Amino acid sequence: MEQFKGKSILKGIAIGRILFYSKNQQQVKREKIADVEQETARYDKAKAVAIEQLGALYDKAFAEVGETNAMIFKVHAMMLEDEDYNDSVYNIIRNDGVNAEYAVATTGDNFAMMFAQMEDEYFKARAADVKDISERVIGALQGRSSDGSLGEEPVIVVAEDLAPSETVQMDKSKLLAFVTRLGSSNSHTAILARTMNIPALIGIEIHEEWNGKMAVVDGRDGTLYVDPDISVLERFMEEKKKEEEAKELLQALKGQPDVTLDGHSVKLYANIGSVADVAAVLANDAAGIGLFRSEFLYLEKDHYPTEEEQFQVYKTVAQNMAGKKVIIRTLDIGADKQVDYFEMEHEENPAMGYRAIRICLDQIEVFKTQLRALYRASAYGTISIMFPMIISVKEVQEIKRIVEEVKAQLTADGIEFGEVELGIMIETPAAVMISDLLAKEVDFFSIGTNDLTQYTLAIDRQNPKLDSIYDAHHTAVLRMIEMVIENGHKGNCWVGICGELGADITLTEKFVKMGLDELSVSPSFVLPIRKKIREMRFK
């Protein structure tokens, strides 16, 4: 048994096998094999797995983004059935006596080169498709697909580091825990771990040979056990059972109002990053969605999401929430959330650079596409929109002007939309200091404590060396929060918190007594926060 110490992102215990996640393209080696018929059978089995995966992806995409956008997965499945493609794989295996992975990789390269050299643009585009299907089959041969799924059994993902764009593509139902060497406790991958309610450790010296080994992640004290002894495994299995029993006790709070002992009500919402997260929101009985991070729609694609793609996602979330409030944050990329096709220039200090609303007000057509999709979806539920990284009244007024243009165009097109509240993120000291002026322009404030803490304390929250002095409880941060609440209420704005600090149970009573109207937290924190609210007095 080996034991390693790191820093915990979320308390809890995970027990399972390790999957070592590599960012590199799947490595393929040329190996001689003795039984060519057995190897062709391996290929046939892997191809069947790939086709099954594509079918599942088609169904998922059809439900989330519509039939037109889902068709690519049917096209890929048809390409895998192509006679010329399969004959090439079989011939390389049989004639050269080599492994299926090498035969598929060689065929993929050859076909991709052939397509790329064609003059017709349609066929040129098939070069990327044939590479994609080849990677998928190789992944199936190696026991891992190329789309972020993690095999049949849930696993503990171990990696050097994980970008938001990588974690968002993983099959959340197959994730037991994250363990990384790099990263910080305030990174977006850490936030995702908390949203999913899975243990995560950072700062662990990792080793590729761990792949497939049994492990225990103890998120309570930040320890990873690799190849644990039977006695250690049994102890953690018993402790995990007690953990599950404690969670079950919280289930009795479902359906109960979020109200203090003396009758003061607080809205308790949940933060999400995808349509799939809505299930966790409903399962944990949140009153609504206080933050839908729409940037993940952009992070998981290799192109600008179309209006229709976005509309289908927003509509699905609104319909699934059945009239409960859904607050969607407009595109918030930049800093650690980079999207290749935006082709943004390198910045020395991206956290304070070209990001979030600054991109939207610069690339107005991208912004209008998202706003059109949001307003169209508002006809199917209760949608509110909030805008990130605000520093001035002028920005808000420009946003409202663009919104009115979008509404006028939708009306002219005969497209219905609902009543939409407009709000802003308060996450810069500038927004805090002019919150009395901003309150006159919008319907609500949502305090983003992650960035507000970063900018107030001049501490890069992505820098693990500064974790020890990153203090979200700093008096300056808490005073700013109180100031925003007071100014918001004076201007008839309701005020909430959607940052990670909202889930800090040690501050729940303080926030409620400050007069906070809403707390939006990771779904798994809804019931523990409800318990705290119902045990306290407002006055």
Query: Which one from 76, 360, 493, 498 is the annotated catalytic residue?
Result: 498
Q: What is the dihedral of CA 226, 231, 234, 240, to 10 degrees?
A: -60
CB atoms under 10 Å from CB of 170, counted, come to 21
List, in sequence order, every residue forming a beta bridge with 269; answer none if it has no partner.
Answer: 520
Distance in angstroms (rounded) separating the CA atoms of residues 340 and 298? 10
373: left (phi over 0), alpha (psi -120 to 50) or beta: alpha
Residues facing residue 495 across a β-bridge: 445
Residue with tokens 């906070």: 516
Cα separation, 290 vs 267, in Å, equals: 9
Amino acid symbol at 363: Q
Tell me how far apart the alpha carbons of residues 53 and 76 are, in angstroms, rounded to a whole number. 11
* Sheet (strand 175-180) strand order: 2-5, 223-226, 214-218, 13-21, 155-159, 175-180, 200-202, 7-10
Residue 32: exposure state from Cβ atoms within 10 A (0-12, 13-18, ≥19):
exposed
Provide the 3-class DSSP secondary structure of residue 81.
coil
Q: Is 207 labeled as catalytic in the residue annotation?
A: no
Query: C-alpha angle 50/65/297, rounded to 5°?
Result: 90
Q: Which residue out of 76, 188, 360, 493 is catalytically annotated? A: 188
- 188 among known catalytic residues: yes
337/269 Cα distance (integer angstroms): 24
The set of catalytic residues is 188, 498
